[in-house]
Amino acid sequence: MADTSNPSGQNLGFTEKLKTWLSWSWTYIWALWFAMVLVLIYVLRSPLKLQETLSTASVFLNTLTPKFYVALTGTSSLISGLILIFEWWYFQKYGTSFIEQVSVSHLRPLLGGMENSSSAGLFSANGDAESRQSVSECKVWRNPLNLFRGSEYSRYTWVTGKEPLTYYDMNLSAQDHQTFFTCDTQQLKPEDVVMQKAWRERNPQARIKAAYQAIELNKECASAYVLLAEEEATTITEAERLLKQALRSGEEGNYLLQMHCISLTVRPDTNVLAYIKRRLAMCARKLGRVKDAVKMIRELMKEFPLLGMLNIHENLLEALLEMQAYADVQAVLAKYDDISLPKSATICYTSALLKARAVSDKFSPEAASRRGLSTAEMNAVEAIHRAVEFNPHVPKYLLEMKSLILPPEHILKRGDSEAVAYAFFHMQHWKRVEGALNLLHCTWEGTFRMIPYPLEKGHLFYPYPGCTETADRELLPSFHEVSVYPKKELPFFILFTAGLCSFTAMLAMLTHQFPELMGVFAKAFFSTLFAPLSFFIDKMESFMPFSFWYQLTRI
């Protein structure tokens, strides 16, 4: 083993050396570029007539009068003073320099600065934890409330002619099904081989045909019934019937394994049963049997406690909110809204909804501005700020500022895909709580005054990952406009100051180049500007006698 691993280690070392050499060469490439420019200027000195140009420039500089230098100095002083006043105002309001902020956030990436270089200095103590967190935040997760393809996604396609799912999303689902329903043993059953091919098929009819082939090989093939419930069933009732058949087949297979003294931890049978029971609970929820759905989900969480990665608690939260069992929702949040557990939009926004529910019916922005926020209102606002910082895309969907689409089968936490999935299932719960959307509308934009730029340290969470937009474009259909991270807009005074400085510099340059023409323009401008005032004075003089104005001047 040592001999076989040695060449790979040598290749890895050579690759690292090559990368190091390339990075070093790029660091000093500017010196080579500067030398090439000097050589090019020397070669082209005759065609470019550099000597004549230098002579003309020296003559021009010698003919400049002291008035030009006075005007230039005055203009520079004016611009410098405006910049100084603006910098002081910006520092007093935002606590940082505007020029430094622009340099770090905008100019540095354009000049080739690394995004993680600034954050590395900020988090040197917990750099490993941050890198792991950023990787997990860019990970694609299975949507815990994903719809049925045959009875829900296909209906959308029949009505609109648009495909709600992307090939990337469906390919991820196929990989999930293969790893979730396939055994790790050396030999697969014939029906398992057929189902492996079925999950990889892109054509829905080919998948359904393969599922029927697996049933012909084994009438108790649970995964085949699962595929038919997902793909072929055109109603939730029909999907529930097929899932019940799959559950009977799966339980019978487990019973046979017990009879042969095979371990109950065989992964495919356990996973199939967990998947079927979860989908049955979702069918009960969709058909209005919410209490049955809650009971099934609770039993599922007790029976399969190790499958917490599937986020089954989010199904429970949504069902409890439908029942308006807010005390039970709070109990679930107390268990899963922990600092050591990964967050989600469902966790953060449900917590904000419960705190907003206590004050939203009596909340008024005018009254709050007069008397200030109470403790309960402050807790609700802080919860909304926390939720918006985790996923800033959700409020636009909840407030119907942006149209919703069917949620994808996979989501990216803190991304637009997660926002679509959350708002699709939870908007009704926000509308049911009186005043909750009004409180969200009045407070969510204030979060962006607390959140720094995405490349810097966040307020309550890690910096917003930059990979979300690219991944969301792969998960969401092309007809949907992907929401990107909301940048803080520059205040109007900043834009006004920048425009004023630029306009002053342009006037100084034009006045120096065309003094007579600019004088004519200046006279015309001021005469037009003061024309209404002159007209008013003439009317007043014609209305009032001249002696009256004379007496006023004598007072």
Mark whether 251 and 381 lie in a shared domain.
no
- Residue 62: pLDDT over 80: no
Full domain range(s) for residue 12: 1-63
Supply 68's token pair: 């030009």
Whether 28 and 162 share a structural domain: no
Beta bridge partners of 140: 412
41 burial type by CB count under 10 A (0-12 exposed, 13-18 middle, 19+ buried): exposed
pLDDT digits (tens, 9 = 90+) for 217-230: 888 888 899 999 99
Residues 198 and 275 occupy one common structural domain: yes
Q: Are 153 and 302 within one domain?
A: yes
**Quick one: 351 and 379 in the same domain?**
yes
Give the CATH number for residue 175. Answer: 1.25.40.10
Is residue 302 located within the same domain as residue 329? no
Calculate mean pLDDT across residues 484-495.
Answer: 61
Mean pLDDT computed over 261-280: 71
Residues 299 and 162 in one domain: yes
180 contacts 278 by C-beta, under 8 angstroms: no
User: Taking each helix axis from N to C terminus, what angle separates 190-200 and 204-217, rounded to the nearest 10 degrees?
Assistant: 170
Q: How many domains does the chain divide into?
A: 4
Q: Name the pLDDT band for 487 (thresholds 50, 70, 90).
A: low
What CA–CA distance (Å, rounded) separates 257 from 234? Answer: 33
Give residue 89's pLDDT band: very low, low, confident or very high (50, 70, 90). Answer: confident
Same-domain check for residues 298 and 375: no
Tell whether 268 and 200 lie within a shared domain: yes
Phi, psi of 183 (to 5 degrees): -85, 150
Q: Is 141 helix (H, G, I), strand (E, B) or coil?
A: strand
Instruction: Give yes or no: residues 158 and 303 share one domain.
Output: yes
- Residue 410, both tokens: 């996979």
Does residue 417 belong to any structural domain of this protein?
Answer: yes
Q: Do 341 and 453 fall within a single domain?
A: yes
How confident is residue 347, by pLDDT bands cut at 50, 70 and 90? very high
Task: Answer whether residue 68 is part of any domain.
Answer: no
pLDDT reported for residue 220? 84
* Domain identity same for 436 and 524: no
List for the chain the helix, strand, coil content (%; round to 5): 75, 0, 25
Tell whether 316 is covered by a domain: no
100 falls within a domain: no
